Structure 1
Amino acid sequence: MPIRSPYPDVEIPEVSLFEFLFADGFGDRAGAPALIDGGSGATISFGELNAMVEKIAAALAERGVVKGDVVGLFAPNTPYWVASFHGVLRANAIVTSANSLYTPGELAHQLGDSGAKLLITISPFLDRATAAAKEAGLADDAIIVLDGAEGYTSLRDLLGTAAEAPAIEVTGDDTAVLPYSSGTTGRAKGVILTHRNLIANLLQIEPLGNVSSDTKILAVLPFFHIYGMTVMMNQGLHRRSTVVTMPKFDLAEFLRIVSEYKVQRVYIAPPVAVALAKHPIVDQYDLSCVDVIFSGAAPLDAELGHAVAKRLNCTVLQGYGMTEMSPVSHVIPDDRPDIDLNSCGFAVPNTECKLVDPDTGEEVGPGGRGELWVKGPNVMVGYLNNEEATAATLDADGYLHTGDVATVTEDGIFTIVDRVKELIKYKGYQVPPAELEALLLTHDKIADAAVIGVRDAEGEEVPKAFVVKQQNGADLTEDEVMDFVAERIAPHKKVRVVEFIGEVPKSAAGKILRKDLRAREASAS
């Protein structure tokens, strides 16, 4: 039996995202700060943002952008990223948001695959942007440099147009964004998300979080990632909150901005939680303003989350999602801090879920483990130009096969326990890397950790831990790490190989890049 959300369905209007967020005006919030650049303090009000979006749309239309055209956005978090994003949508076009860390080759693949007509970037990224654009067949005049560069159109040029924005031609069923995701496996693919998908997810998360016009949200996770795009940027606009932006994570700057701007709501990935729980510099800042720290993008261990909550005297919550789900499908609500923090809470409104045994294809009930399948209005249309990957992920009944293994309680509380393809099979037993990683992070001399399966001398797959030492952990040995785990876990789950490294490779959203660790392992063998 499918498990429905315990929350009542929400009504999803058939409009574009621009109309949903901007068309009703901002009332007494028009002059209030919508966006603050955390580094400089530069502020854009809701009314100013609306005017910028209209001008950008008009200028893009002047340059030949029409309904269905794709515009690449390759820049870090700033208020101008937000204005550019919504300007593109207001021009009836589609945004493909690119990872700020991309190499020219990676960016060229995304531009070419998505069919991007223009690329919006910043001058520090211009070398990579021009190389990628050339490889993708775009001319130099197809590049817009927000902060200006000689020979290129700038944001100031766009805002200087005398033209009017075009009529709104898109509907809820039209594609709004093409973020790129590896999905359950493989090379990054364009995820087709419609205006309705994005609007639905904003309405689905609304009843579970206490976000209002009095809330300040910190946007340190990138807007190019769907977590930042929906949960920070667009939720802030939807709830008329103030969003404080950071271009990248730096702990001292993060702490300064939270303290200085009195940020109440902070969205993070688990690596930030490790720093908040363990780094001594945290005590130098007044973080009493923080009400809620919400973790997503990767599993957060409850013990680590409770350590953050205790240190900062705030509530720590967790959720779950995927780019393919716009992204949120499960949330621990603000008013349920009693829920086990190892869980990701309830399914959001309008969704139903199944847990399916990956070996037998049979549904499993409460207490059992199975791959999580999700169906709802936030689920993607499919992967761009990739029918095979779409068919492997979306079934005929509309369920998205997440690739994640979960459990559920009788009350409908879900817990992600691992990924289908990342489970280590040791002598027939399943060993979840995420469980070992969470345990390793409780060691006071371990700053970060990742676990993969490697082959031992007998060809058996065994768990190997890559460990980053804390500042006080110089004397930590491999044997101590293995003993620490062995004392706290079933024998078949023991870590059997340890390697100390300087940094665990992670995506911009905080997910461990196990493929990089496997490549490292392969090159060493």
Structure 2
Amino acid sequence: MDQTLPRPVTITEMVENITRQKGDQTAIVYLGQHITFNELLERSQRVADGLRRLGIGEGDRVSLWLPAVPAWLITYIALCRLGAVAVATNTKFRSSEVQDIVSRSQAKAIIMWPGFKHIDFEGILSDIDPTALTALQTVILYSEDKTEPAHHILGRNTVSYHALEQSPPYTADHATPESGCNIFTTSGTTKAPKLVYHKQSATAGHLYDINRAFGLDQPGKSVLHMIPFCGVWGFDQGMMTLAGGSTLYIMPFFDPAEAARLIQAHRITHTSASDEAVRCLLEVNDTPVPFPSLELIGFAAVGGGSSQDLVLEATRRGLTLRGLYGSSELGALFSLQSDTLAPEDRTQGGGICVNPETQVRTRDKQSGNILPHGERGEIEIKTPSRMVGYLNNPEATQTAFTEDGFFKTGDLGYTRDDGSWVFLSRLGDAIRLSGFLVSPAEIEGYIETHPAVSEAQVVGVQQARKIWLCAFIIPADANKLDNQLLRQYCEKGMAKYKVPQHFEPIDAFPVTLSANGNKIQRAKLRDMAESIMRRSLAPAT
């Protein structure tokens, strides 16, 4: 990339800058289809015109309920041109989650792929109360075969995504540095996830920083994309690849054998992956050095448990894993460990921040004092890529920052004297499930909507490489609690990865009595859950 390119302040500027330099080069490869930067820009302009004709304009929100397909990125770029906002919506979400996010974000349209992985997306929408989605006007249906919709959903008009791409290119630009562009969900202490709101200048600047930190502004680089765009990790990886002028190979879902084939066939240089994905890649190719073209794998241990053996095996077989850090509030790929460190240090979360203006410090939670290098405390970060705030939640936004503008991450770690830092673990009760950070309160809140449930508490315990969830239930009527029906209720309303593996009736939760009120002993519940897990998984005798 030409190093004289200015730092972009909008997504439109970022895309147009790189297109002027890389126009005829391949931007995206998807299922064998090649999309050049010129085609990417033009298709986004056509979709922008189609959306404009549907009444989408500055400040409006559109839910992108899609897997990792080029249409996700094309629609995102189109929305940014219009000054509108993309609401990232996980395809694993079910009716209660989709209703909550679309309703609270006041999305004016939702785009989905009805036939993806044979999931009944229309059925999920039909379970939503239409009156709860007061702002929703249009449902846009994406398909790989360009099928035309012929019916209404939730009483709203339907439009095919293909029709949007047939509109004439819309070249006017309504984006400003202060325009909103993204809404992501993140776990919270309440029964609903918080909605994280970002603006274009912070997002475009962050993408500019991370593509340089990862070396994707250099010729001949390519990225294999194996994760959804609906999370900040997937979004930032996809968009930073395009921002750097490199080629993005998109997989709509993770298939280890196909991922290994793509890396080898196209000599892919970069990717990022969880510990489980790295393990799968190594298992499908047993050669001593399976992927010699890979220069960097951004690494995050999200499965729980120790990944030391995996790290050593990956290193022995020629893979350079480098630890990452990110959050919905600050952006993903936010920092990257140095490749000069020993493997066990290089694969820890944290690292060197991609933006040189970023400040990282640790604070002792009890004393409130800022800690010296090497001492563990809560990580606080001040950076240009920070969110605007939590949508329609000024109290939570104010609580999330210190008076001098540092974001309180809720993560445990320490700083190093070379300017880098190390992430150790989450503080509090948040649980990492299927790569997503989830508050137990969110799961508990949904379970408590079942008429047979009075109260619920959900805890997670480590089971080999994953988290085993146990829901402790105080029944509304002990004679009417049917565990199988409760499981089905959860599977219908929540993403599968949030559904507990076990439901345990209990007369009362263990509590600690104090003058400030009773506090549930979650540590004791975790001990109880571990005993239950061991019994349930023990072989029959």
Extract unaligned runs of 5+ from structure 2.
116-120, 151-157, 433-439, 441-458, 467-495, 505-525, 534-541
Which residue of 87, 91, 106 corresponds with 2:82?
91
Which residue of 454, 463, 467 corresponds with 1:466?
463
Query: 1:280: how far off?
Result: 5.4
Residues 111 and 209 from structure 1, CA distance in 2 versus in 1: closer, same or farther, beyond 3 angstroms? Answer: same
Name the structure 2 match of 1:137.
133
Letter in structure 1 aligned against 2:26? P
Residues 367 and 202 from structure 1, CA distance in 2 versus in 1: closer, same or farther, beyond 3 angstroms? Answer: same
> SS at the partner of 1:421?
coil
Distance 2:38 2:204 in 1: 21
Which residue of 242, 245, 248 corresponds with 1:240?
245
Which residue of 369, 386, 389 corresponds with 1:382?
389
Name the structure 1 match of 2:326.
321
Distance 1:66 1:353 in 2: 37
Letter in structure 1 aligned against 2:464? V
Distance 2:460 2:235 in 1: 35
Residue 43, structure 1, aligned to residue 34, structure 2: yes
Which residue of 220, 231, 245 corresponds with 1:225?
231
Query: 1:415: how far off?
Result: 1.3
**1:241-300 Cα distance to aligned partner (Å, 9 max, x none):** 1101111122222222222332211111222123345x2555499522222111137488
Distance 1:333 1:86 in 2: 32
Name the structure 2 match of 1:271.
276
Name the structure 1 match of 2:424.
417
Residue 52, structure 1, aligned to residue 43, structure 2: yes
Kindly indicate whether the alpha-carbon contact (under 8 Å) linking 2:18 and 2:243 is maintained by their aligned counterparts in 1: no
Which residue of 158, 167, 171 corresponds with 2:172?
167
Name the structure 2 match of 1:259.
264
**1:354-407 Cα distance to aligned partner (Å, 9 max, x none):** 100112211111121110000011011110111222122122221110000001
Distance 2:418 2:465 in 1: 38
Letter in structure 2 aligned against 1:255? A
Residues 207 and 75 from structure 1, CA distance in 2 versus in 1: closer, same or farther, beyond 3 angstroms? Answer: closer
TM-score by length of 1: 0.74
Name the structure 2 match of 1:19.
13
Query: 1:195: how far off?
Result: 0.5
Query: 1:184: how far off?
Result: 7.2
Extract unaligned runs of 5+ from structure 1.
1-9, 424-432, 435-451, 453-461, 470-511
Kindly indicate whether the alpha-carbon contact (under 8 Å) linking 1:325 and 1:378 is maintained by their aligned counterparts in 2: yes
Which residue of 100, 106, 115 corresponds with 1:115?
106
Which residue of 285, 292, 295 corresponds with 1:288?
292
User: CA RMSD of the aligned region, Å?
Assistant: 3.3
**1:402-451 Cα distance to aligned partner (Å, 9 max, x none):** 0000012222231111222159xxxxxxxxx99xxxxxxxxxxxxxxxxx
Residues 468 and 269 from structure 1, CA distance in 2 versus in 1: closer, same or farther, beyond 3 angstroms? Answer: closer
Letter in structure 2 aligned against 1:67? E
Name the structure 1 match of 2:523.
none
Distance 2:34 2:289 in 1: 23
Name the structure 1 match of 2:27.
34
Letter in structure 2 aligned against 1:412? G
Query: 1:198: how far off?
Result: 0.8
**1:436-475 Cα distance to aligned partner (Å, 9 max, x none):** xxxxxxxxxxxxxxxx9xxxxxxxxx99542259xxxxxx
> SS at the partner of 1:193?
strand
Letter in structure 2 aligned against 1:26? R
Name the structure 2 match of 1:150.
149
Name the structure 1 match of 2:63.
72
**1:187-238 Cα distance to aligned partner (Å, 9 max, x none):** 31110111112122123324422213411101111111111111x2111111
Distance 1:322 1:224 in 2: 13
Residues 11 and 47 from structure 1, CA distance in 2 versus in 1: closer, same or farther, beyond 3 angstroms? Answer: closer
Query: 1:76: how far off?
Result: 0.5
Letter in structure 1 aligned against 2:295? D
Residue 331, structure 1, aligned to residue 336, structure 2: yes
Distance 2:379 2:497 in 1: 21
Residue 403, structure 1, aligned to residue 396, structure 2: no
Name the structure 1 match of 2:449.
none
> SS at the partner of 2:196?
strand
Residues 79 and 285 from structure 1, CA distance in 2 versus in 1: closer, same or farther, beyond 3 angstroms? Answer: farther
Q: Structure 2 matches for 1:176-255, cutoff 5 A?
A: 176-182=181-187, 187-211=192-216, 212-230=218-236, 232-255=237-260
Distance 2:82 2:460 in 1: 51
Identity of aligned residues (%): 23
> SS at the partner of 1:204?
helix
Kindly indicate whether the alpha-carbon contact (under 8 Å) linking 1:331 and 1:344 is maintained by their aligned counterparts in 2: yes
Letter in structure 1 aligned against 2:374? G
Residues 183 and 44 from structure 1, CA distance in 2 versus in 1: closer, same or farther, beyond 3 angstroms? Answer: farther
Distance 1:47 1:264 in 2: 23
> SS at the partner of 2:384?
coil
Residues 127 and 335 from structure 1, CA distance in 2 versus in 1: closer, same or farther, beyond 3 angstroms? Answer: farther
Name the structure 2 match of 1:371.
378
Query: 1:309: how far off?
Result: 2.6
The farther-off stretch of 88-97 and 325-334 is 325-334
TM-score by length of 2: 0.72
**1:10-46 Cα distance to aligned partner (Å, 9 max, x none):** 998573211122246333x222211111xx2112111
Distance 1:176 1:259 in 2: 35
> SS at the partner of 1:240?
coil
Query: 1:518: how far off?
Result: 9.3
Kindly indicate whether the alpha-carbon contact (under 8 Å) linking 1:121 and 1:129 is maintained by their aligned counterparts in 2: no
Distance 1:248 1:321 in 2: 22
Distance 1:184 1:378 in 2: 23
Name the structure 2 match of 1:346.
352
Letter in structure 1 aligned against 2:427? V
Distance 1:49 1:239 in 2: 14
Query: 1:333: how far off?
Result: 4.1
User: Matched residue pairs, number?
Assistant: 432
Kindly indicate whether the alpha-carbon contact (under 8 Å) linking 2:263 and 2:291 is maintained by their aligned counterparts in 1: yes
Residues 133 and 225 from structure 1, CA distance in 2 versus in 1: closer, same or farther, beyond 3 angstroms? Answer: farther
Query: 1:305: how far off?
Result: 2.4
